[in-house]
């Protein structure tokens, strides 16, 4: 689900003639509506809204090795 950030305008509210279509809380807004995400991506730079990058998935302990496996022979 796309997540957007507006660090400068933490309470940003976007609306048109049909009403509010995006309301940021603490500088964050998340949507499952593809058309809303498209509108947010198309905003001019002066709105200072950016799409948040998804956090990297952890592989167990963060070593890059699969979780639960053992390395080497253990007898």
**Residue 19: what pLDDT?**
97
* Structural domain boundaries enclosing 16: 3-51
The answer to whether position 62 is within a domain reads no
Task: Tell me the per-residue pLDDT of 7-59, one tens digit each, with 9 for 90 and over.
Answer: 999 999 999 999 999 999 999 999 999 999 999 999 999 999 999 987 766 65
Phi, psi of 62 (to 5 degrees): 85, 5
pLDDT(6) > 70: yes
The Cα–Cα gap between 59 and 31 comes to: 27
pLDDT(69) > 70: no
The answer to whether position 67 is within a domain reads no
The three-state secondary structure class of 38 is helix
Name the pLDDT band for 62 (thresholds 50, 70, 90). low
Give me the number of domains the chain comprises: 1
């Amino acid at each position: 689900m796309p997540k957007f950030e507006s660090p400068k305008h933490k309470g940003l509210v976007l609306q048109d003639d049909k009403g509010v279509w995006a309301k940021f809380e603490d500088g964050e807004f998340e949507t499952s509506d593809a058309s809303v995400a498209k509108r947010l991506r198309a905003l001019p730079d002066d709105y200072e809204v950016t799409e948040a990058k998804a956090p990297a998935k952890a592989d167990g302990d963060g070593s890059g090795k699969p979780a639960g496996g053992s390395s080497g022979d253990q007898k």
